[in-house]
């Protein structure tokens, strides 16, 4: 770890938090139907859209209808993209004449993109036409918006009392895309373009290098994908290597900018929640919980990667950093971007469940790999669009319940009584997440079809499979990419894990909102457990760590922890 490394990490993180504050106000204005500076431009377009769809924005619905509309709309979007990929050979912008995607891979890909996961069992530049890539961009907008509006519905469930309606799905959805994702995506796409990210409809360019070697370069509309892929915490890049490909991430500045794109909206959503419920202190306390976890994970990853691989040192490599030599574990990392930026990128992409990678996570040191998996297991360190906040609030409900049990009082949360129904739903959401990771993981390591995908021997192979299902269920999409996931078994099992991992928790969470919204608001009394401050912070943190550790530690012990101790003893795996 170097002084300059720590400095650039802190600057990037500080920029995100500083930008998130005004952004959170803007977001709150949008969902509270208040004036925003974009009204003059967006209002006419929006009204035209609502007219075309015959939507009356004042007509709100209950949570069941809201959820149902969202999920059915998701299904139609999934269908259109499934068909485009399946029949891309009949569609335009396919100069390389790539065939239609095989059904199992297409099933996996379409589900993966509609759920904001962006797990990729294909390499974009070798399998997809530009038209197909553009279709995926469509889902990158809509899946991010879907997660976000469900979080908004949840917040309204807390804010409103003795009510029934959580909002109008169409209105929230269109606003999210028109007022948040489209403007930001356009701005950042142009910035990325200026830094060297291509935007063209040519798929391949043949060149003869200065040494006479023939080289083929893959291109396409990359800039437009890179911006929404990160802003929407989708993470599915244009290329197989994602942001490790210089065309997606040409320099250290774009690397920092990519991290900024991933993190700013999720942080702003935490703060928006505080504004909407009228309790900023509560939101900042949850922010502190998430930020603490992020910093701890980051420190672990950065120190491990900067320390480097002891086996290479023994062979004669210099793994300690000096003025001219970056040192550390450079396998799978970009030299100019460096260890510090790469560690921050990896920690951020698993915290914000983006899943974009600027390095080969499979080649990280065992304990860094463990931290990345653990972040996705928790899935609430700010998290992806909307769902990170939902998962955090689910955990808060459980924490408040436990705290209530300890003092023998009916738990209350922001003026609402937390009763059996909410706790059951919260527990179901939490356990569904764990079960959908661990059960398929257990199956995969027990059958030949699962073991066939492994690249690295020993406990690391186990980590590869664990990473895959965790990433799928957390809707992250990054991978220990040594695992060959493009098999019938993995395409289907990961596809299903992604599907259930997305919708079961969301259904439970929106149902909680539907239950909370009916309740009376009880005024604060002397006996009320304050939902902010150090005590609340401790209770939430303890709940997260206890639940997380008890559920997942055994699996982690068998993989990365075992690998780490073997490495310390100088043991290699063959």
Partner 1 sequence: MIKELARMIKLTILLYIICSLGYTFLIWGIGKIAFPFQAGGSIVYKNSKPIGSMLIGEKFTSSYIFNGRPSYAGNGYNGTESGGSNYAPTNGKYIAVEKKLIDRFLKENPSVKKGEVPADIITGSGSGLGPYISIAAALDQVSRISSLTGIPKAVLNRLVKHNISYRQLGIFGTPGVNTVKLNLKLSLLIKKYNFKLYKHIFKGLV
- Binding residues among 359-388 for partner 1 as defined by CB under 8 A: 359-360, 362-366
Give the residue with the Cβ less far from partner 1, 102 or 252: 252
In whole angstroms, give the CA distance from residue 376 to residue 287.
17
CB of 42 to partner 1, least distance (A): 13
For residue 337, CA distances in Å to 44, 159, 244, 247 come to 43, 44, 10, 14
Question: Under rule CB under 8 A, which residues in 128-167 are in contact with partner 1?
Answer: 134-135, 137-138, 141-142
Question: Under rule CB under 8 A, which residues in 74-103 are in contact with partner 1?
Answer: 76-77, 80
Total number of residues that touch partner 1 (CB under 8 A): 128
Yes or no: say if 275 and 28 are a contact pair by the CB < 8 Å rule: yes
Give the residue with the Cβ less far from partner 1, 348 or 425: 348
Q: Convert residues 409-448 into a mask of x (bound to partner 1 by CB under 8 A) and - (unbound).
A: ----------------------------------------
Q: Convert residues 14-53 into a mask of x (bound to partner 1 by CB under 8 A) and - (unbound).
A: -----------------------------------x--xx
Give the residue with the Cβ less far from partner 1, 239 or 401: 239
CA nearest 361: which of 484, 236, 480, 462? Answer: 480
DSSP class of 199:
B
Helix H or strand E encompassing 205: strand 204-208
Q: CA angle 167-168-174, nearest 5°? A: 125
In whole angstroms, give the CA distance from residue 428 to residue 446.
26
Rg, Å, the chain Cα set: 23
In whole angstroms, give the CA distance from residue 126 to residue 144.
26
Instruction: By CB under 8 A, tell whether 7 contacts partner 1.
Output: yes
CB of 292 to partner 1, least distance (A): 25
Question: Is the CA virtual torsion 116, 119, 120, 121 positive or negative?
Answer: negative
Instruction: By CB under 8 A, tell whether 486 contacts partner 1.
Output: no
Q: CA angle 505-292-4, nearest 5°? A: 125
Instruction: By CB under 8 A, tell whether 482 contacts partner 1.
Output: yes
Instruction: By CB under 8 A, tell whether 350 contacts partner 1.
Output: no
CB of 380 to partner 1, least distance (A): 27
CB of 234 to partner 1, least distance (A): 12
Yes or no: say if 359 and 288 are a contact pair by the CB < 8 Å rule: no
Q: Convert residues 441-460 into a mask of x (bound to partner 1 by CB under 8 A) and - (unbound).
A: --------------xxxx-x
Candidate list 38, 83, 193, 561; residue touching partner 1; CB under 8 A:
193
SS (H, E, C) 410-429: CCEECCEECCHHHHHHHHHH
Q: Convert residues 304-343 into a mask of x (bound to partner 1 by CB under 8 A) and - (unbound).
A: ----xx-xxx-xxxxx--xxxxxxxxxxxxxxxxxxxx--
Question: What phi and psi, each to the nearest 5 degrees, are found at residue 383?
Answer: 70, 180
Helix H or strand E encompassing 103: helix 103-114
Question: Under rule CB under 8 A, which residues in 235-264 are in contact with partner 1?
Answer: 239-241, 244-247, 250-253, 255-256
Helix H or strand E encompassing 62: strand 61-62
Give the residue with the Cβ less far from partner 1, 281 or 571: 571
Candidate list 38, 39, 62, 69; residue touching partner 1; CB under 8 A:
69
Query: β-strand 416-417 against 412-413: which pairing, if any?
Result: antiparallel
Would you tell me how many other CB atoms lie within 10 Å of the CB of residue 320?
Answer: 11
Give the residue with the Cβ less far from partner 1, 198 or 415: 198
CB of 113 to partner 1, least distance (A): 12
Instruction: By CB under 8 A, tell whether 355 contacts partner 1.
Output: no
Give the residue with the Cβ less far from partner 1, 250 or 411: 250
Residues near 530 by Cβ (< 8 Å), separated by ≥ 6?
A: 536
Candidate list 409, 421, 424, 571; residue touching partner 1; CB under 8 A:
571
CB of 103 to partner 1, least distance (A): 21
CA nearest 383: which of 180, 144, 188? Answer: 144
Q: Convert residues 210-239 into a mask of x (bound to partner 1 by CB under 8 A) and - (unbound).
A: xxxx-xxxxx-x-xx---x----------x
CB of 166 to partner 1, least distance (A): 17
CB of 481 to partner 1, least distance (A): 5
- Strand spans (E) along 79-189: 165-167
């Amino acid at each position: 770890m170097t002084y300059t490394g720590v400095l650039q990490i802190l600057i990037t993180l500080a920029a995100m938090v500083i930008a998130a504050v005004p952004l959170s106000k803007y977001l709150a204005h949008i969902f509270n139907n208040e004036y925003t500076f974009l009204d003059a431009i967006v209002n006419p377009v929006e009204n035209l859209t609502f007219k075309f769809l015959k939507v009356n924005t004042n007509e709100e619905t209950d949570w069941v209808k809201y959820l149902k509309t969202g999920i059915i709309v998701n299904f139609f979007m999934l269908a259109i993209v499934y068909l485009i990929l399946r029949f891309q050979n009949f569609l335009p912008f396919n100069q390389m004449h790539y065939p239609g995607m095989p059904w199992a891979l297409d099933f996996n890909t379409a589900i993966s993109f509609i759920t904001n996961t962006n797990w990729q069992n294909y390499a974009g530049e070798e399998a997809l036409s530009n038209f197909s890539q553009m279709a995926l961009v469509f889902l990158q907008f809509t899946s991010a918006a879907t997660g976000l509006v469900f979080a908004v519905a949840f917040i309204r469930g807390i804010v409103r009392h003795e009510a029934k309606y959580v909002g109008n799905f169409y209105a929230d959805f269109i606003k999210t895309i028109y007022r948040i994702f489209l403007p930001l995506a356009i701005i950042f796409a142009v910035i990325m373009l200026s830094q060297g990210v291509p935007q063209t409809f040519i798929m391949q360019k043949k060149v003869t290098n200065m040494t006479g070697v023939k080289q083929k370069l893959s291109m396409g509309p990359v800039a437009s994908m890179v911006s929404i892929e990160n802003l929407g915490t989708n993470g599915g890049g244009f290329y197989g290597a994602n942001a490790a490909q210089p065309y997606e991430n040409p320099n250290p500045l774009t690397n920092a900018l990519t991290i900024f794109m991933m993190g700013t909206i999720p942080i702003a959503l935490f703060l928006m929640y505080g504004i909407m419920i009228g309790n900023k202190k509560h939101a900042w306390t949850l922010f502190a919980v998430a930020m603490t976890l992020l910093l701890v994970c980051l420190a672990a990853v950065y120190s491990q990667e900067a320390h480097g691989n002891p086996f290479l040192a023994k062979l004669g490599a210099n793994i300690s950093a000096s003025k001219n030599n970056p040192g550390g574990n450079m396998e799978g990392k970009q030299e100019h971007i460096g260890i510090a930026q790469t560690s921050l990128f990896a920690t951020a992409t698993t915290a914000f469940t983006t899943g974009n990678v600027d390095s080969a996570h499979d080649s990280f040191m065992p304990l860094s790999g463990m931290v990345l998996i653990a972040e996705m297991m928790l899935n609430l360190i700010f998290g992806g669009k909307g769902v990170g906040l939902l998962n955090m609030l689910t955990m808060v409900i459980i924490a408040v319940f436990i705290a209530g049990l300890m003092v023998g009082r009916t738990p209350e949360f922001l003026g609402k009584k937390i009763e059996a129904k909410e706790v059951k739903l919260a527990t179901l959401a939490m356990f569904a997440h764990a079960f959908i990771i661990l059960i398929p993981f257990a199956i995969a390591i027990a059958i030949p079809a699962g073991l066939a995908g492994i690249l690295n021997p020993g406990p690391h192979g186990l980590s590869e499979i664990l990473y895959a299902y965790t990433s799928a269920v957390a809707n992250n999409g990054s991978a220990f990419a040594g695992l060959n996931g493009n098999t019938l078994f993995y395409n289907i099992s990961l596809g299903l894990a992604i599907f259930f991992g997305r919708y079961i928790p969301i259904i439970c969470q929106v149902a909680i909102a539907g239950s909370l919204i009916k309740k009376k608001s009880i005024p604060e009394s002397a006996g009320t457990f304050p939902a902010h401050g150090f005590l609340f912070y401790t209770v939430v943190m303890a709940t997260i760590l206890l639940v997380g550790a008890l559920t997942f530690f055994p699996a982690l012990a068998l993989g990365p922890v075992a690998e780490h101790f073997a490495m310390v003893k100088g043991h290699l795996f063959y």
